[in-house]
């Protein structure tokens, strides 16, 4: 007997807003009892700049969570404490490896209630941290969105979060659409499956267009040096000043160091949902597809540890939804059983092509916002100027410190193959393609403009950008571009 198609309401997922909450996030907790939390976050930038944040938080009373009633209030409290916690850890000249009871005690309780780790997750930064400027306009319009909280008070930081919010909102209708397609496949309704796949492909094009707008109001230099350090977690942060992680002081006297990954778009349930319903399977980075495995449906590849790990950072209902959808996903098999239906196959391949294009754009953004600024940091660090020596110890300078020490890839710092991971994920997106021409098209090598130009030299002159050995700190760990490092995170 086939398992039932998941009902969105059972997982706290909105049929109109998707993984965004069905009701808009609260702009303030209604109970005045929590005014101190609201006041700290409202003045976060000034408290960080004046070096007063830690003292203020240390003197806060330990507030009970008993006054939090509705889900929206619990989510608001979680977001507030996420910002307070990361500002406390990363807002000084050196990181703090302890969170005091005024943060840690309620943070642990709220996280348990919402089934998310006590860290600034994608949910805290994006899903539960926005408001529309005009209530009668759509929330998938970037011009109608604003953030509730930021670390820096900059437009760049707001825009960075809001691009993800707009993508979640624009992609929300895909969720019920593809559940309809799964139901239709069970009923052998090829026309409905084809219609749903066509609509999916068109909506994916919209998501890529939104992602391409990142550069409009988020400067790579501002992101790399000012915003990104606050997004770091406590896992693999030895070079950034947290070799053991962070202690959450709960008054028990038995506190241990905890390690969590920081906020990352990899924690978006929407993108994982796309892969699941299309039958895209990801292998550990560096693991190749075996010849002939395309048609061997009974043999599943190794599961990608990082992708599974990121589900721990999603709200509990969202992670359970992805697990249950995995049990009913049937579109890849249905298309492979109906290769004579050209319209169905073209629609399915179009979805894969559009998802691959989305990942291409993501690679370009990672290069612009992480890889390129990291090279600039390395170039400046060689000067050993007094300005460099006086920099704070945080995520933004950890790679520079490593470079000055003459180390390229020390073990135990969370070395991760960023670009190889992203490129392999993109390439794996095209593997289920039905038509041979589609597979050839998505395996093509995109030629970089000017590569091999007379004035730039031949391709083999110097290390190509794709394979140059560059180690930089990512949002939640140490990224490295070495092809022989397995997985986006080393566990």
Confidence class for position 482, pLDDT limits 50, 70, 90:
very low
Please give the structure tokens belonging to residue 119. Answer: 């860290």
C-beta of residue 480 within 8 angstroms of C-beta of residue 415: yes
Give the residue-averaged pLDDT of 52-61. 97
Please give the torsion angle defined by the CA atoms of residues 37, 38, 39 and 43, in that order, rounded to the nearest 10 degrees: 110
Please give the structure tokens belonging to residue 322. Answer: 């992805």
C-beta of residue 416 within 8 angstroms of C-beta of residue 485: yes
Share of the chain above pLDDT 90, in %: 63
CA 410, distance to chain mean position in Å, is 25
Q: Is the pLDDT of residue 86 over 60?
A: yes
Strands 98-99 and 471-473, sheet pairing: unpaired
From the number of C-beta atoms within 10 Å of its C-beta (0-12, 13-18, 19+), residue 156 rates as middle
Q: What is the mean pLDDT of the chain?
A: 82
Secondary element (H or E) of residue 328: helix 316-328
467's CB contacts (< 8 A; 6+ apart) are 481, 483
DSSP state of 124: I
- Which residues sit opposite 470 in a β-bridge? none
From the number of C-beta atoms within 10 Å of its C-beta (0-12, 13-18, 19+), residue 84 rates as buried
362 is in an annotated binding site: yes
- Which residues sit opposite 246 in a β-bridge? 258
Query: Tens digits of per-residue pLDDT, 274-315?
Result: 999 999 886 665 566 665 544 444 444 455 577 888 999 999
C-beta of residue 453 within 8 angstroms of C-beta of residue 240: no
Give the pLDDT score at 382.
66
Higher-pLDDT residue of 172 and 435 is 172
Higher-pLDDT residue of 229 and 458 is 229
Higher-pLDDT residue of 137 and 486 is 137
Query: Phi and psi (nearest 5°) for 121?
Result: -85, 175
Please give the structure tokens belonging to residue 149. Answer: 């909280």
- Distance, in Å, from the CA atom of 9 to the CA atom of 177, rounded to the nearest integer, reads 15
Higher-pLDDT residue of 101 and 300 is 101
Query: Tens digits of per-residue pLDDT, 318-355?
Result: 999 999 999 999 999 999 999 999 999 999 999 999 99
C-beta of residue 402 within 8 angstroms of C-beta of residue 470: no
- Distance, in Å, from the CA atom of 315 to the CA atom of 12, rounded to the nearest integer, reads 9
Q: How far is CA 59 from CA 39, 40, 101, in A?
A: 14, 12, 10
Query: Tens digits of per-residue pLDDT, 356-412?
Result: 999 889 888 988 998 888 888 877 766 655 554 455 656 655 544 544 444 443 222
Please give the torsion angle defined by the CA atoms of residues 393, 310, 354 and 366, in that order, rounded to the nearest 10 degrees: 10
CB atoms within 10 A of CB 277: 26
Give the residue-averaged pLDDT of 264-278. 93
49's CB contacts (< 8 A; 6+ apart) are none
Q: Is the pLDDT of residue 271 over 70?
A: yes
- Distance, in Å, from the CA atom of 315 to the CA atom of 110, rounded to the nearest integer, reads 12
Please give the structure tokens belonging to residue 373. Answer: 């600024």
Confidence class for position 249, pLDDT limits 50, 70, 90:
very high
Question: What are all long-range contacts of 320-324, with beta carbons under 8 Å and residues at least 24 apart?
Answer: 320/11, 321/6, 321/8, 321/11, 321/13, 321/269, 322/269, 322/272, 322/273, 322/276, 324/3, 324/6, 324/11
- Distance, in Å, from the CA atom of 275 to the CA atom of 352, rounded to the nearest integer, reads 9
Report the residue count for the chain. Answer: 491
């Amino acid at each position: 007997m086939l398992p039932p198609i998941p009902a969105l309401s059972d997982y706290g997922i909105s049929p109109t807003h998707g993984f965004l909450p069905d009701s808009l996030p609260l702009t303030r907790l209604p109970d005045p009892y929590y005014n101190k939390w609201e006041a700290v976050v409202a003045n976060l930038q000034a408290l960080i700049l004046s070096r007063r944040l830690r003292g203020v938080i240390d003197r806060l009373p330990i507030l009970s969570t008993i006054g939090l009633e509705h889900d929206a209030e619990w989510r608001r409290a979680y977001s507030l404490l996420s910002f307070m916690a990361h500002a406390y850890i990363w807002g000084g000249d050196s990181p703090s490896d302890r969170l005091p009871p005024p943060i840690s005690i309620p943070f642990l309780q709220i996280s348990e209630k919402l089934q998310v780790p006590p860290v600034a997750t994608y949910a805290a930064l994006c899903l539960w941290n926005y408001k529309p400027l005009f209530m009668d306009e759509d929330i998938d319009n970037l011009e109608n969105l604003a953030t509730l909280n930021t670390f820096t008070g900059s437009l760049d930081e707001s825009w960075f979060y809001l691009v993800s919010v707009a993508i979640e909102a624009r992609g929300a209708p895909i969720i019920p659409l593809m559940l309809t397609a799964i139901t239709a496949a069970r009923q052998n309704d090829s026309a409905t499956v084809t219609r749903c796949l066509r609509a999916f492909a068109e909506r994916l094009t919209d998501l890529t267009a939104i992602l391409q707008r990142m550069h409009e109001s988020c400067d790579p230099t501002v992101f790399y040096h000012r915003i990104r350090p606050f997004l770091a977690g406590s896992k693999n942060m030895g070079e950034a000043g947290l070799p053991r992680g962070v202690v959450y002081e709960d008054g028990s006297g038995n506190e241990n160091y905890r390690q969590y990954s920081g906020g990352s778009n990899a924690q978006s349930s929407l993108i994982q949902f796309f892969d699941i319903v299309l039958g895209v399977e990801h292998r550990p980075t560096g693991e190749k597809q075996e010849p002939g495995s395309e048609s061997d449906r009974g043999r599943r590849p190794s599961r990608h540890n990082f992708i599974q790990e990121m589900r721990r950072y999603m709200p509990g209902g969202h992670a359970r939804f992805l697990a249950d959808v995995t049990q009913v996903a049937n579109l890849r098999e249905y298309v492979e059983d109906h290769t004579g239906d050209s319209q169905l196959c073209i629609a399915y391949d179009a979805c894969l092509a559009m998802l691959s294009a989305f990942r291409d754009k993501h690679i370009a953004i990672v290069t612009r916002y992480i890889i390129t600024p990291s090279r600039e940091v390395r170039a400046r660090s060689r000067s050993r100027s007094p300005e460099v020596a006086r920099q704070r110890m945080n995520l933004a300078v950890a790679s520079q410190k490593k470079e000055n020490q003459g180390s390229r890839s020390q073990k135990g710092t969370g070395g991760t193959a960023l670009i190889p991971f992203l490129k392999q994920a993109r390439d794996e997106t095209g593997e289920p393609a039905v038509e041979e021409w589609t597979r050839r098209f998505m395996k093509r090598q995109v030629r970089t403009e000017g590569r091999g130009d007379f004035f730039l030299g031949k391709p083999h002159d110097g290390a190509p950008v794709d394979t140059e050995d560059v180690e930089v700190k990512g949002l939640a760990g140490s990224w490295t571009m070495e092809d022989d490092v397995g997985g986006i995170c080393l566990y």
